[in-house]
Amino acid sequence: MSWEIVIGLEIHAQLATTSKIFSGAATRYGAAPNSQASLVDLGYPGVLPVLNEGVVDMAIRFGLATHCQIARRSVFARKNYFYPDLPKGYQISQYELPIVHSGHIEIVLDDGSVRRVGITRAHLEEDAGKSLHEDFQGLSGIDLNRAGTPLLEIVSEPDLRSAREAGTYMRAIHTLVRYLGICDGNMQAGSFRCDANVSVRRQGEAKLGTRAEIKNLNSFRFVEKAIETEMRRQIELIEDGGRVVQETRLYDADRDETRPMRSKEEANDYRYFPDPDLLPVVIADERIARVEAAMPELPHAKRERLMQQYGLPAYDADILASSRALADYYDALAKATKAKPKMAANWVIGELTAALNRENREIESSPVAPADLGALLDRIEDGSISGKMAKEIFEALWRGEGPVEKIIRERGLEQISDTASIDALVQKVLDANAEQVAQYRGGKMQVLGFLVGQVMKASQGKANPKQVNEALRRLLG
Amino acid sequence: MHRHTLAESAAALAAGSISSLELTRHYLDRIERLDGRLNSYITVTAERALEQAREADRRIARGEKAPLLGVPIAHKDIFCTAGVRTTCGSRMLDGFVSPYDATLVERLERAGAVMLGKTNMDEFAMGSSSETSFFGPVRNPWNLDCVPGGSSGGSAAAVAAGLCAAATGTDTGGSIRQPAALAGLTGLKPTYGRISRYGMIAFASSLDHGGSLTRTAEDAALMLGAMAGFDERDSTSLDEPVPDYAAEIGKPLGAVTIGVPEGFFDDGLDAANASAVRDAITVLEKLGADCKPVELPNIHLSVPTYYVVAPAEASSNLARYDGIRFGHRTSAPVADLNDFYMRNRGEGFGDEVQRRILTGTYVLSSGYYDAYYIKAQKARRLISRDYAEAFAKVDFIAGPTTPTPAFRLGQKTSDPVEMYLNDIYTIGADLAGLPAISIPCGFVGGLPVGLQLVGPHLSEGPLLRLAHHFQRATDWHARFPAEFD
């Protein structure tokens, strides 16, 4: 009997604001513990939250990009529970009335087919602080820098049917929020993380199985591995006559297993109720229109445009559209060069990406600007440098050795392509290799390769090979 | 000097006939001599007060004008005051020194007021007698065996006994008006959002109102003018212009219609209290008011509604007192995190606070939320609608502030519900967020009786004017407890 796996993801995207959702404190990552916590974040007596309006526009942007309904009135609620890194004893979130709901996103599966994944809702909330259980000799440290950081929690429908699909969906959302400029997507820093709800049922069964929630998955690979592992656990459990319990589990990547969370949080009754310190968020149509007018081109549209405008194959368009910054770079490059768009794409996907990966840099901080790379491609296009030289020049550009023309000049890399000079070089080689010339003339055509090599060597690689070939054939008569 | 109203002191200071230093020393001296009998202050900030007084005198000498320049007042210890202990009447915050000033404190300071200290109160403003304070009960200057009401009982006792010119208070279910009535004072609770809640330690956020306890309506107008106005740090603060209340009260009364909820005059209202209030309504009629009966059909739901909404919000608002970042922390060894929480909170909070946290936790818990919290919200809307409908017909509503005059210490501590019923006439205006004032209107057995006037949203100007005209026609507000004169 075969099994079907049913997955829904809850993605927490940290919104890219400079200050917190309910206080003016900064949200910079990596600051000294508790240096970015204001009295509001610390939950001091008498302080009150004031909504950072920037997060509302960001949520609207996400809602528009995922075909969601934008709630004209949404309400902040308090989720009550005690934990040392939750200063107020409640988290301000949205419960019954989220800001965005009932939408979908289309993802492209490995086989090229398109799957529509429902977005149940996306709501605004504040993050908690961090508990640090190491380095304190049996005590716990609390860092409240993260407390009050704005989050958009994106809840999908249970529409995903494999670990791979879940990973693809998570990547699509990751690409989207970065496109929208609402989240930096930095998974190491915890700006983008997810919980996975996983259940299994026998193929054909209509009723959903009991689900387990795997918490805090902060890489695409872990999401896929954790779901895979959890699925196997549930199937084995049921096949052995057991039953899945609804619970929260953690994924241990080292052991590749999921295990129940120790905390008693499961038993919590969060006693949600509307936060009386905050007014309902009322959104007028004009505001939505304003946000819509400022929407960037979205990944799907961008991919289509790259294929149409530049005639790129789907594979190239996919890669270039996977990040707004990469696509922006490509657009700028295509504009800056007379070279063929496909060649420009090859350079971005190949040489440039390899260099970025080598130094672990983002495209935004590429030392080679689109204009510089464009100038380099122009030189290839007009035949004044060879592909091999181009690579050398690219490396020099990367090291900041100056504009393309300067590098070519300083290194004497300019290709020799005037007929007179080439003819002179060729004649010299022919004179020095009478034996091979005789062989060629006697019908041994393979010797031509040897002669080309000799000419190239004599020119220190600078002669245009195509012209050398022509000259040899001409002069050998 | 201590019998002067705030307005009289402010005028004398501005005229230079007394100095702020003299006046401040006078009050500090009285606090020193007399407060042992009342326990109205938790903290006296003598040095700071003298410093502020000297500064006020320098400003006066420079010819500066500010409405309260040099006038010594006291703050209920629910308002955060930078560098000064702010306890909220609780062991939980016994050692808590606030790092910042409440907006209200900041604004009164800007208006020139001198802070004498922080007044005693029911713990976290939960009570109607000022007996739940960790710092001991407050006594009523009119009769030391009686309570001054609560929760702003310390402010009421201090103003009534001449230990400050005026004091701030907060009103969630009647905590300004009820003690004002029991201590023979004018207690004003303006419209919800009129005064910023920033820095006012939260009890029940949707019901908490800042306000004042003063000798007269004129004083209340001066205080309100200094305290009111939009504050971007409080999302529920009203962005509405602040009228010149002191000018408003001087205008003629004009034709006003006053509704009297006849339902208030039932068996629950002490007969002598009732007749004092009836007499006061006659005075209002003599002033030209057209008084007629008005219906508030759902007002009987106000106490039960309040005792769902207020504890629900309180249970959440008080969750931050966990002993981790500030506040009481147990000295006993603890087994685990839960034990740590339980000891900190069990030791730090008194019985009434714990009772309300438990009640609030219960009404919000799953399975009970709809039956209690949601139902209470519906009742709250009905009560607000009743007022709105009444104010379509009348300008004000007049009635008793409390069922009885001040009761004896300990008389109601064993029966919480009996204690809660003290606020039966005041809670409605809190639920509806309406401005309301209590003014002295008589004495029963040597104890003051209060008349409550309620107006529609943002009608503080006309409301204070009505109270002011009443006080020009009567002298109940001018009486002073003999023992403290």
Q: How would residue B244 be classed by pLDDT, with cut points 50, 70 and 90?
A: very high
* Claim to verify: residue A133 and residue A240 sit in the same structural domain: yes
Q: Which candidate in B129, B175, B302, B438 is catalytic?
A: B175
Q: How would residue A417 be classed by pLDDT, with cut points 50, 70 and 90?
A: confident
B65 catalytic, yes or no?
no
- What angle, 0 to 180 degrees and rounded to 10, lies between the N-to-C axes of helices A324-336 and A299-310? 20
Q: In residues, how long is chain A?
A: 477
Closest CB to B80 among A45, A80, A279 = A45
User: Does B198 lie at the interface with A, CB-CB under 8 angstroms?
Assistant: yes
- B-chain residues near A78 (CB < 8 A): 316
Who has greater pLDDT, A226 or B419?
A226
* pLDDT, position A476: 83
> In whole angstroms, what is the distance from residue B438 CA to residue A464 CA?
101
> In whole angstroms, what is the distance from residue A423 CA to residue A216 CA?
69
Q: Is the pLDDT of residue B214 over 90?
A: yes
Please answer yes or no on whether B199 and A43 come within 8 Å at the CB atom: no
The count of domains in chain A is 3
Q: Report the candidate in B363, B383, B384 with the shortest Cα–Cα distance to residue B374.
A: B363
Q: In residues, how long is chain B?
A: 485
> In whole angstroms, what is the distance from residue A35 CA to residue A396 CA?
42
Q: How would residue A74 be classed by pLDDT, with cut points 50, 70 and 90?
A: very high
Q: Report the candidate in B213, A388, B342 with the shortest Cα–Cα distance to residue A380.
A: A388
Q: Report the candidate in B28, B299, B318, B356 with the shortest Cα–Cα distance to residue A43.
A: B318
Which structural domain range is residue B179 located in? 6-259+393-484
Q: Report the candidate in A48, A134, A124, A136 with the shortest Cα–Cα distance to residue A88.
A: A48
Please answer yes or no on whether A42 and B325 come within 8 Å at the CB atom: yes
Strand partners, A379: none
User: Does B232 lie at the interface with A, CB-CB under 8 angstroms?
Assistant: yes
The 10s digit of each residue's pLDDT in A40-68 is 999 999 999 999 999 999 999 999 999 99
**Percent of chain A at pLDDT exceeding 90:** 70
Q: How would residue A263 be classed by pLDDT, with cut points 50, 70 and 90?
A: low
User: What does the pLDDT average to over B453-464?
Assistant: 98
User: Does B172 lie at the interface with A, CB-CB under 8 angstroms?
Assistant: no
Tokens of B421: 């019923």
Strand partners, A108: A114
Distance from CA of A71 to the nearest CA of B (A): 20
Q: Is the pLDDT of residue A265 over 80?
A: no
Q: Report the candidate in B195, B284, B248, B278 with the shortest Cα–Cα distance to residue B463.
A: B248
The 10s digit of each residue's pLDDT in B257-278 is 999 999 999 999 999 999 999 9
Closest CB to B201 among A45, A51, A273 = A45
* Claim to verify: residue A114 and residue A133 sit in the same structural domain: yes
User: What does the pLDDT average to over B390-405?
Assistant: 98
* Claim to verify: residue A334 and residue A286 sit in the same structural domain: no
Contacts with A438 (C-beta within 8 Å, 6 or more apart), sequence order: none
Distance from CA of A43 to the nearest CA of B (A): 6
> In whole angstroms, what is the distance from residue B420 CA to residue B416 CA?
6
Contact (Cβ atoms closer than 8 angstroms) between residue A60 and residue A100: yes
Q: Which CATH number covers residue B200?
A: 3.90.1300.10
Q: Which candidate in B20, B76, B155, B459 is catalytic?
A: B76
B20 catalytic, yes or no?
no
Residues A36-54: b if buried by 16+ CB within 10 A, e if exposed: bbbbbbbbbbbbbbbbbeb
Please answer yes or no on whether A278 and B235 come within 8 Å at the CB atom: yes
> In whole angstroms, what is the distance from residue A320 CA to residue A314 CA?
10
Question: Nearest residue of A to residue B124 by CA position?
Answer: A45
* Claim to verify: residue A327 and residue A444 sit in the same structural domain: no
Q: Please check whether residue B438 lies inside any domain of the structure.
A: yes
* Claim to verify: residue A393 and residue A448 sit in the same structural domain: no
* Claim to verify: residue A322 and residue A369 sit in the same structural domain: yes
Q: How would residue A261 be classed by pLDDT, with cut points 50, 70 and 90?
A: confident
* Average pLDDT over all residues of chain B: 97
pTM, two decimal places: 0.89
Q: How would residue A384 be classed by pLDDT, with cut points 50, 70 and 90?
A: confident
Closest CB to B233 among A50, A51, A88 = A50
B175 catalytic, yes or no?
yes
* pLDDT, position A386: 77
Q: Is the pLDDT of residue A138 over 90?
A: no
Contact (Cβ atoms closer than 8 angstroms) between residue B101 and residue B61: no
Beta strands in B295-402 (DSSP E): 396-400
> In whole angstroms, what is the distance from residue B126 CA to residue B175 CA?
9
Helix (H, G, I), strand (E, B) or coil at B107: helix
* Claim to verify: residue A264 and residue A192 sit in the same structural domain: yes
* Claim to verify: residue A116 and residue A211 sit in the same structural domain: yes
Contact (Cβ atoms closer than 8 angstroms) between residue B135 and residue B42: yes
Q: Is the pLDDT of residue A442 over 90?
A: no
- A-chain residues near B124 (CB < 8 A): none
* pLDDT, position A4: 96
Q: Residue window 64-93, chain B: list those with CB within 8 Å of chain A.
A: 79-80, 86, 88, 93
Using left for φ > 0, alpha for ψ between -120 and 50, and beta otherwise, residue B126 falls in beta
Question: Nearest residue of B to residue A281 by CA position?
Answer: B235
Please answer yes or no on whether B341 and A82 come within 8 Å at the CB atom: yes
* Claim to verify: residue A321 and residue A355 sit in the same structural domain: yes
Tokens 């009723």 — which residue? Answer: A207
Q: Which CATH number covers residue A424?
A: 1.10.10.410
- B-chain residues near A46 (CB < 8 A): 79-80, 98, 102, 197-202
Distance from CA of A270 to the nearest CA of B (A): 8
* pLDDT, position B327: 96
Q: Is the pLDDT of residue A5 over 90?
A: yes
| Best mutation target, A44, A81, A83, A90, to test chain B (most B CBs within 10 A) | A44
Please answer yes or no on whether A271 and B234 come within 8 Å at the CB atom: no
* pLDDT, position B197: 98
Q: Is the pLDDT of residue B325 over 90?
A: yes
Please answer yes or no on whether A45 and B361 come within 8 Å at the CB atom: no
Distance from CA of A46 to the nearest CA of B (A): 4
The count of domains in chain B is 1
The 10s digit of each residue's pLDDT in B215-228 is 999 999 999 999 99
Strand partners, A73: A282
* Claim to verify: residue A137 and residue A201 sit in the same structural domain: yes
Cβ-based contacts under 8 A for chains A and B: 97
* Average pLDDT over all residues of chain A: 92
Tokens of B165: 């010119």
Q: Is the pLDDT of residue B60 over 80?
A: yes
Which structural domain range is residue A136 located in? 3-290
The 10s digit of each residue's pLDDT in B466-475 is 999 999 999 9
- The dihedral sign for the CA sequence A278, A280, A285, A288: positive
Beta strands in B140-227 (DSSP E): 167-171, 186-189, 209-214
Q: How would residue A234 be classed by pLDDT, with cut points 50, 70 and 90?
A: very high
Tokens 């210490």 — which residue? Answer: B409
Q: Report the candidate in B162, B121, B128, B112 with the shortest Cα–Cα distance to residue B10.
A: B112
- B-chain residues near A47 (CB < 8 A): 198-199
Helix (H, G, I), strand (E, B) or coil at B453: strand
The 10s digit of each residue's pLDDT in A292-315 is 999 999 998 999 999 999 999 999
Q: Please check whether residue B50 lies inside any domain of the structure.
A: yes
Long-range contacts of B221-224 (CB under 8 A, 24+ apart): B221/B245, B221/B246, B221/B248, B221/B249, B221/B464, B221/B468, B222/B6, B222/B7, B222/B10, B222/B67, B222/B68, B222/B246, B223/B6, B223/B68, B223/B108, B223/B166, B223/B168, B223/B188, B224/B188, B224/B190, B224/B194, B224/B195, B224/B460, B224/B464
* pLDDT, position A1: 65
Tokens 């008349």 — which residue? Answer: B451
- The dihedral sign for the CA sequence B278, B280, B286, B287: negative
> In whole angstroms, what is the distance from residue A306 CA to residue A222 CA?
31
- B-chain residues near A277 (CB < 8 A): 202, 205, 235-236
* Claim to verify: residue A151 and residue A250 sit in the same structural domain: yes
Q: Please check whether residue B330 lies inside any domain of the structure.
A: no
Q: Is the pLDDT of residue A316 over 70?
A: yes
Q: Last residue of some domain: A272, A290, A308?
A: A290
The 10s digit of each residue's pLDDT in B421-443 is 889 999 999 999 999 999 999 99
Q: Is the pLDDT of residue A266 over 60?
A: no
* Claim to verify: residue A153 and residue A279 sit in the same structural domain: yes
Within 10 A of B415 (CB to CB), how many other CB atoms are there?
A: 10
The 10s digit of each residue's pLDDT in B77-89 is 999 999 999 999 9
Contacts with A372 (C-beta within 8 Å, 6 or more apart), sequence order: A397, A403, A404
* pLDDT, position A267: 62
Please answer yes or no on whether B365 and A51 come within 8 Å at the CB atom: no
| Best mutation target, A39, A48, A82, to test chain B (most B CBs within 10 A) | A48
Q: Please check whether residue B114 lies inside any domain of the structure.
A: yes
